[in-house]
Amino acid sequence: MLSTDITTRLSAIRQRISQACHRCGRDPASIRLIGVSKTRDADEIIAAYRAGLVDFGENYAQELVAKAKLVADANIAPRWHFLGGLQTNKVRSLIPVVSGIQTVDRPSLIKELAKRATQPLEVFVEVNVGDEQQKAGCHPKEAADLCRQILAVPNLKLVGLMCVPPIANTAEATRPYFRSLREKRDELRAKLSISDNDTLSQLSMGMSADFEVAIEEGATTVRVGTDLFGPR
């Protein structure tokens, strides 16, 4: 049964989060779990929400907007996060629906978000930690300037950094990339004289295969799809 399967998988993921936190002396409640629901249908999202998951992420703007309407018709109200490469012409449709955009990586996108955001919007700067040409994300050296631009916009709330590390054969092989993002965040907080806990404090990193390692390296948000919904 769909709801039973998702409930069981969600419980197992939360247990893995708890165990990872225990290993590094962190509070499991400090970790936000986002269910990556791209290509999944509304029934799966509704089942996960009713099992206790609140946050969901999508990679395509049109798909997110359509699903948000479908699940709203079912009288549930998940928090939506955008996780994919974002074209500026898609910003207008997303703004009324999402609580956060995790893939800000260029000035033109910041400019469009500033134009369209009418209330506070959480944003993450995506950093290309593996320097992979085929992937989105800014170069680590560009992150400071992007953060400055975001901080200058009243309705954009710079909450942290996000990354998608290179594909690896083992979870442990991703550790240096997660560590580099944590070090970049700490460097930026010092460079930009940020001391409060609400600004540039979060790290969105880690997926089904490696989120435990990400948590050990400081992740505050993990993004899990396959291990929650099953193979596509």
22-26, 70-74, 101-105, 140-144: which range is least confident on average?
Answer: 70-74
Rounded average pLDDT over 54-66: 97
92 is written with which tokens? 């207008």
What's the pLDDT tens digit per position in 1-16? Answer: 777 899 999 999 999 9
Q: Quick one: 3 exposed, middle or buried, by C-beta within 10 A (0-12, 13-18, 19+)?
A: middle
- Architecture in CATH of 2-227: Alpha-Beta Barrel (3.20)
Rounded average pLDDT over 212-230: 97
Task: Tell me the helix, strand and coil percentages in the chain, rounded to 5.
Answer: 45, 15, 35
pLDDT band, residue 172 (cuts 50/70/90): very high
Question: What is residue 127's DSSP assignment?
Answer: B
The pLDDT of residue 223 is 98
Average pLDDT of the residues of the chain: 96
The pLDDT of residue 134 is 87
The pLDDT of residue 74 is 87
Contact predicate 104/204, CB 8 Å: no
24-28, 72-76, 207-211, 226-230: which range is least confident on average?
Answer: 72-76
What's the pLDDT tens digit per position in 6-51? Answer: 999 999 999 999 999 999 999 999 999 999 999 999 999 999 999 9
Rounded average pLDDT over 84-110: 97
Centre a 10 Å sphere on the Cβ of residue 227 and count the other Cβ atoms it contains: 18
Is it the case that residue 92 has pLDDT exceeding 90?
yes
pLDDT band, residue 128 (cuts 50/70/90): very high
Comparison of pLDDT for 125 and 75, the residue scoring more:
125
In the chain, domain spans: 2-227
Instruction: Report if pTM > 0.85.
Output: yes
